[in-house]
Chain A
Amino acid sequence: MSATAQADPGPALVQGRDLCKRYSMGSSTIHALLDVNIDIHEGELLAIMGPSGSGKSTFMNLLGALDTPTSGSLTIAGREIATMGSDERSRLRNETIGFVFQQFMLLARTSALDNVKLPLMYTRLDSSEKDKRARSALERVGLAERMDHTPSQLSGGQQQRVAIARALVNHPRMILADEPTGALDTATSEEIMGLLGALNREGVTVVLVTHEEEIAACARRVVRFRDGQIVDDQAQSSEVGKQ
């Protein structure tokens, strides 16, 4: 599956055109994003890098449909984010995007299975289907034996795998992972990156934000932000799958 921005195989999963995000701080205006243009295609494994304040977080918020651009156009799965209301974006997130956070963001005193079911709580699936999907997502991340464990009974790597199962459970088109290995040791980080890479090979688009070059090296494409703009966007040979 060729998935670079240069070789366009069809309409992109994500299309950003002249994206701007401005904040007014008193009398001055801060451009968090300035005229960003980007296409992300189905099946890509992409890393976003940049120092803090570079606009990468702002961009990820837009990519996750958690925020809307001040100007410009952003379509995700063919739908324009800029003009969507918050409930519409909730639905888009629910159906299209899976989130993985640095701090796992699991509900305490709640079993792995119930944590994974969380996104399904906001769907109309019947409960046996919810259960089936959550179990299969946990099996997919290798936690079939740990479904009843609460986060405090799981290691950091296992917790992050529960979080990845939660991101997968509603069959998203794209997984957004914000520093997914930031709270993990090296060995566990590699394990998690291996899992994300494997999911990507199964067809899920994965976008990860990282400041670690080793992590970014796993991606086939690295987009670098600085001062609210993309300063570098290039394909590279992926190391994913070598482990």
Chain B
Amino acid sequence: MKERESAARGIQLSASLIIALKAIRTNAVRSTLTMLGIIIGIGAAIVSVSISQGAGQQLQEQIESFGTHVLQVRPGSGFFGGRRQGAGTARPLTDRDVEAIAALSDQVEAVSGRVQSAATLVVAGRNWPTTIQGVGADFAITQDRGIADGRNFTRAEARRGATVALIGQTVVNELFNGGDPIGARIRINRTPVTVIGVLEEIGASNFGQDQDDIVWMPLAAVRSRISRDSGSVPDNAGAITIKVWSDLDVLAVEREIEDLLRLRRDIKPGADDDFVVFNFAEFIRARNETEALLGFLLAAFSATSLVVGGIGIMNIMLVSVTERTREIGLRLAVGARQRDVLTQFLVEATVLGLIGGVVGMLVGVAGTYLAAAMGEFPILISPWTLGGAVGIAILIAVFFGYYPARRASRLNPIDALRFE
């Protein structure tokens, strides 16, 4: 009973808050200087987190735009008399390689060869130079790209090399001037081709290339009629794009495909592959490691500032406790318990942390936008970052404020009252 009463008694938080605000306002300059460390630390933390989250988000978007489960196989470097000939000089990949990979249907959702050729399109007196890609019927699946209008070509059309085309929106705009392109006949390198569909508009790639300025045609048709690539094997499939089932481990499938191709290409154990399997997600991740390092350095800087800021708070709280020793003695004499004094000074430290955190948050947001404007970084300022930053500021203030507060609460009232 006595315990419960004494627990019920005690200084109210609101009263502590008023005392704290008064103390901080009384020493406004000192308090502001004290909070600088926290402000800088929190500001830097928000800038670094927002930049690295922005980079992370961009990375995710890039990976998603390529597809996380997409592999590409290209011929590697060939050998001629012991000399390596450079990328793409090894034996080409063929339609039969595409079929063999497609046969791994429990691992591969879609697979398509792709050859590329530049050509000029002509229709009704207008012309437009663009890129022609010869692909399989499943290429759209590997690219996660839909057909906006009309239809995709069938596997049968792909197999026989039908002179049909899917065209991108840019091509539509350049050649048809708003008219309906479906069913139109266009000439590509003098070959008449029927437009059967319009590709979903996806805009520029991450590398700034207009992905709507393109034509897709059956690979066999491009090979025989558009590019007329005489130097290559007749069933050259170019680069093979593979979409792995999304619930599988891409790296395992990647190894499986490597094994298959080594077997098909008669590569002896121990010899190097003469083809390259390219994993977009891994590539992009590797490329972003430098940005991650930058983010880490900024984070380390902000952590250092926060510790320095915390020490600043501890220092100023110690000064405050010393200056107010007589006040503490008086409070203890008139009935404050140790925990009341502890609370009072912890609240004061918390308020310093809170104000520093909020100001730091504003500085951080401004700094982030400034950095984004100057460095053209992608940024992502999430409410979690802001809330977390203020929370960390308060935690630091409480952590570093605890020792001075405890020291205040342990003062002997007799000595404290007599303190000069």
Q: Using a CB–CB distance below 8 Å, which chain A residues touch chain B?
A: 61, 64, 66-67, 86-88, 90-91, 93-95, 99, 101, 105, 107, 109-110, 118-119, 121-124, 166, 170
Contacts and interface: CB of A to CB of B under 8 A. Distances in A.
B332 interface: yes
B6 A87 contact: yes
A85 to B, nearest CB: 10
B26 interface: yes
Given A87-B6, A109-B26, A166 B334 contact: yes
Interface residues of B, number: 25
Nearest to B6: A91
Contacts of A91: 6, 9, 335, 337
Contacts of A101: 417
Given A90-B335, A118-B331, A119-B335, 13 more contacts: A87-B338, A87-B339, A88-B6, A90-B337, A91-B335, A93-B333, A94-B334, A105-B330, A107-B327, A110-B22, A122-B10, A124-B8, A166-B334
Nearest to B2: A88
B169 to A, nearest CB: 70
Nearest to A122: B335
A99 B12 CA distance: 22
B413 interface: yes
A66 B413 contact: yes
A122 B333 contact: no
A175 to B, nearest CB: 12
Given A67-B414, A90-B332, A124-B8, A105 B326 contact: yes
Nearest to A117: B15
Contacts of B332: 90
A105 B417 contact: yes
B11 interface: yes
B15 A121 contact: yes
Nearest to A107: B327
11 contacts: A64-B333, A67-B414, A86-B337, A87-B337, A91-B335, A107-B327, A109-B22, A118-B330, A122-B9, A122-B336, A122-B340
Contacts of A109: 22, 26
Interface of B: 6, 8-12, 15, 22, 26, 326-327, 330-340, 413-414, 417
Chain B interface SS verdict (over half) = helix
A118 to B, nearest CB: 6
B335 A95 contact: yes
Contact of A124 (B9, B327, B417): B9
A93 B334 contact: yes
Nearest to B331: A118
A99 B335 contact: no
Most chain B CB within 10 A, of A107, A122, A170, is at A122
Contacts of B15: 121
B78 to A, nearest CB: 87
A48 to B, nearest CB: 16
A123 B335 contact: yes
A170 to B, nearest CB: 8
B114 to A, nearest CB: 78
Contacts of A107: 327, 330
Contact of B335 (A67, A93, A105): A93
B89 to A, nearest CB: 85
Given A109-B22, A109-B26, A99 B333 contact: yes
A22 to B, nearest CB: 16
Contacts of A67: 414
A15 B24 CA distance: 44
A129 to B, nearest CB: 14
A123 B339 CA distance: 14
A66 B333 contact: yes
Nearest to B26: A109
A90 to B, nearest CB: 5
B322 to A, nearest CB: 16
Nearest to A106: B330
A162 to B, nearest CB: 13
B226 to A, nearest CB: 88
B418 to A, nearest CB: 9
Contact of A118 (B326, B334, B338, B339): B334
Given A86-B338, A87-B6, A122 B22 contact: no
A132 B127 CA distance: 93
Contacts of A87: 6, 337-339
Which among A66, A119, A123, A170 has the highest number of chain B CB atoms within 10 Å?
A66
B338 A122 contact: no
Nearest to A67: B414
Given A105-B417, A109-B26, A119 B334 contact: yes
A97 to B, nearest CB: 9
Nearest to B18: A114
Instruction: List 3 tightest A-B contacts by C-beta distance, closest first.
Output: A94-B335, A119-B334, A122-B335
A166 B338 CA distance: 21
A98 to B, nearest CB: 8
B166 to A, nearest CB: 77
A93 B340 CA distance: 15
A119 B326 CA distance: 15
A122 B340 CA distance: 8
Contacts of B331: 118, 122
A101 B26 CA distance: 25
